[in-house]
Structure 1
Amino acid sequence: MPTADAVLVLTGTFDPTADLVIEELNRRGTPVFRADTAWFPSRLALVANLDGAAGWGGTLATERRAIDLSSVRSVYYRRPTAPAFPERMSAEARSVASAEARRGFGGLLSALPCRWLPPPGRAADAEYKPLQLRVAAESGLRVPRTLVTNSQDAARDFAAGLGTPLVYKPFAPIRGTLDGRSVAVYASVVAADDVDDPSVATTAHLFQEWVPKAYEVRLTAIDGQLFAAEIHANSASSKVDWRSDYDNLTYRVCDPPAAVAQGVRRMLDRLELPYGAFDFVVSPSGEWTFLEVNPNGQYGFIEQATGLPIAAAICDYLEGSDEA
């Protein structure tokens, strides 16, 4: 029998962050249907019918379970992977099948009249760092002086004019393998001479002023609720980018200043997002500087370290508790 009035969770097969939400929904007795879009079409069957104003009906089903499309109350869009097609298909056929799956399967899901966390299109737009920085500044948050360029001359002039160390940041997480080892590119402090590297001209680069820090803050916002935790770095690498060394971090719950809280809420309104994982630097004098927001960022490590009820707030949103 199809699962009715359920939360549809779209994520990868292994996702401990989504597991926290699913466990909480199960504890509340809320039906959950979990799937990865990579299961389509071999392990996930879609049957959808449109009957006038009644909207789309039908089912999304695995071999064991099914969900009634007309009864999906919300979608938790975590980190699903792309639909997978048989290797025996030609490259051309896979390309066509992938495009049709995106427009047909993905389009059908986006047509469901329910709330999404986060809405995929708006989340994708919000991942652009130049857009984030502009909206953050317009929302009243302090942002670092920033340069985006592929010009060595411009980078050199920017570095010379700062009067502070220079930070390079990738626009998106960069991970891969090199000589059989897993590698990642994090934010890094660079010397002024480093911007003379010819590789600067090969693509867009993001450079920012170094902001003196006492500690950093991960602030998770869900539908107006704010959960903030200080992140204290205890190694040289984590003092530059805490993501590079989780083993040497400590955490403490904190409250954001009123102006920062107002700016965060205003920024999410501007981006039309119900959720955001914000990163701030807090200076020794207590000034908060916005670094970035991830519209689908991790929160599990913060909840587990601090006890902040982030998963419960996400479940409240997915259940529509705010409308009760």
Structure 2
Amino acid sequence: MPTADAVLVLTGTFDPTADLVIEELNRRGTPVFRTDTAWFPSRLAVAAGLDGTGAGWAGTLTTDRRTLDLSAVRSVYYRRPTAPEFPEAMPAEARSVAAAEARRGFGGLLSALPCRWLPPPGRAADAEYKPFQLRVAAESGLRVPRTMITNRPEVAREFAKSIGAPVVYKPFTPIRGTVGGRSVAVYASVLQGDEVEHPSISTTAHLFQEWIPKAHEVRLTAVGGRLFAAEIHANSEAAEVDWRSDYDSLTYRVCDPPPEVAKAVLRMLGQLELPYGAFDFVVSPSGEWTFLEVNPNGQYGFVEQATGLPITAAICDYLEGADPA
């Protein structure tokens, strides 16, 4: 049976954040069609046509259990879909061609749907570049740390010297993997002594920033013009540098961003053309807010669970077509 007036959820098989949104949409009686692009083409079929009248693409997405009418999609929640999967027996060259065709054909068809996206994939991909978001944050009126990007150890040393304070190294992208059978991750770290000019810096681009003294940090989640902010208090040495490294030590408290910060956040989202952003700030002992980064599709469930902030409801309101606040 076709699913009408539905929210299309694109994400991987295991995604607790998407589960929160789907459960709320189900509670509201809003039809949901969840799939992963990895299911294409073996478990997900597409058939869509354009008749040249300006009516747009008409057709279906079909699994072995359900069918989605593409013309009835009201919005798309673009979470964390994974790449299409092809038979292992397919030659590598053929898989490469098939993957490119799937990306431009199947992915292109989805991007052509005239509906609301949270977030728009292209805009989200652009916003994930830290140099870009730092520039836009500063232009929007947010305070940002002094920053250096380099692959020259001597430049890193001179930057640290000019700062006259501790320097933090941050990876540009989340780095996680397995080494010797153990799961490892690279988080922000405060550099000591010779680490600031380590020869390995020359191997690729590195991002260095001044260390901002902190009373606490803030995760501010923006959804369609609505802002939900929570203080994050670190209670371990590791979490003091990067709270993601030790969730068990964290405590949370609902807060309100200063008016000038709230206005700058909304201005930044407008510049990025995004309806959603998970912003991270450092708040100094004197109460000054400093922007660290924004994730255009960041996790929020841990904040909602700890504080009761109605972020899931706001996301569902947006997906159902509510006008931004």
TM-score by length of 1: 0.99
Structure 2: runs of 5 or more not aligned:
none
Q: What residue is the counterpart of 1:248 in the other structure?
A: 249
Residues of 2 paired with 1:143 and 1:72: CA distance? 39
Contact 2:142 2:261 in 1 (8 A): yes
Aligned ranges 1:62-77 → 2 under 5 Å = 62-77=63-78
Q: What residue is the counterpart of 2:37 in the other structure?
A: 37
| 1:38 Cα deviation from its structure 2 partner | 0.4
| 1:323 Cα deviation from its structure 2 partner | 7.9
Deviations 1:88-129 (A, max 9, x none): 001100000000000000000000000100000000000000
Residues of 2 paired with 1:138 and 1:197: CA distance? 32
| 1:193 Cα deviation from its structure 2 partner | 1.5
Say whether residues 1:8 and 2:8 are aligned partners.
yes
Deviations 1:220-276 (A, max 9, x none): 001110000000000010000000000100000000000100010000000000000
Q: What residue is the counterpart of 1:87 in the other structure?
A: 88
Residues of 1 paired with 2:323 and 2:265: CA distance? 19
Residues of 2 paired with 1:238 and 1:27: CA distance? 36
Say whether residues 1:168 and 2:169 are aligned partners.
yes
Deviations 1:127-149 (A, max 9, x none): 00000100000000000000000
Q: What residue is the counterpart of 2:228 in the other structure?
A: 227
Residues of 1 paired with 2:37 and 2:218: CA distance? 33
Deviations 1:283-304 (A, max 9, x none): 0000000000000000000011
Q: What residue is the counterpart of 1:312 in the other structure?
A: 313
TM-score by length of 2: 0.99
The AA in structure 2 aligned to 1:39 is: W
Contact 1:159 1:192 in 2 (8 A): no
Residues of 1 paired with 2:237 and 2:55: CA distance? 59
Q: What residue is the counterpart of 1:183 in the other structure?
A: 184
Say whether residues 1:195 and 2:196 are aligned partners.
yes
Contact 1:2 1:67 in 2 (8 A): yes
Residues of 2 paired with 1:31 and 1:79: CA distance? 20
Residues of 1 paired with 2:246 and 2:281: CA distance? 17
**Residues 323 and 208 (structure 1 numbering): CA distance in 2 closer, same or farther, change over 3 Å?**
closer
Q: Number of residues paired by the alignment?
A: 324
Residues of 1 paired with 2:295 and 2:197: CA distance? 31
Contact 1:166 1:192 in 2 (8 A): no
Residues of 2 paired with 1:128 and 1:106: CA distance? 22
The AA in structure 2 aligned to 1:11 is: T
| 1:153 Cα deviation from its structure 2 partner | 1.2
Q: What residue is the counterpart of 2:279 in the other structure?
A: 278
Contact 2:224 2:324 in 1 (8 A): no
| 1:321 Cα deviation from its structure 2 partner | 1.9
Say whether residues 1:111 and 2:112 are aligned partners.
yes
State percent identity of aligned pairs: 81
| 1:195 Cα deviation from its structure 2 partner | 2.1
Residues of 2 paired with 1:40 and 1:281: CA distance? 42
Deviant stretches of 4+, over 6 Å: none
Structure 1: runs of 5 or more not aligned:
none
SS of 1:207 mapped into structure 2: strand
Contact 1:3 1:68 in 2 (8 A): yes
